[in-house]
Homo-oligomer: A and B are copies of this chain.
Amino acid sequence: MSLRHALLGLLEEKTASGYDLMKLFDTSLANVWPATQSQLYGELNRLSTAGLIEVAAEGPRGRKEYAITEEGSEELRRWLAEPFVPQPVRSETLLRCFFLGLLPPAEADAQLARQEEAAANRLAALEVLQTTVAWGDDVLSVNGRLVLEYGLRQSAMQRDWARWARERIAERAEG
Contacts and interface: CB of A to CB of B under 8 A. Distances in A.
Interface of A: 2, 5-6, 9, 12, 28-29, 31-34, 76-77, 79-81, 83-84, 86-103, 107, 111, 114-115, 118, 122, 139-140, 142-144, 146-147, 149-150, 153-154, 157, 160-161, 164-165, 168, 172
A68 to B, nearest CB: 11
Given A81-B107, A95-B2, A161-B149, A102 B90 contact: no
Given A31-B89, A102-B76, A102-B139, A95 B5 contact: yes
A167 to B, nearest CB: 11
- Consensus secondary structure, chain A interface: helix
A92 to B, nearest CB: 5
B157 A99 contact: no
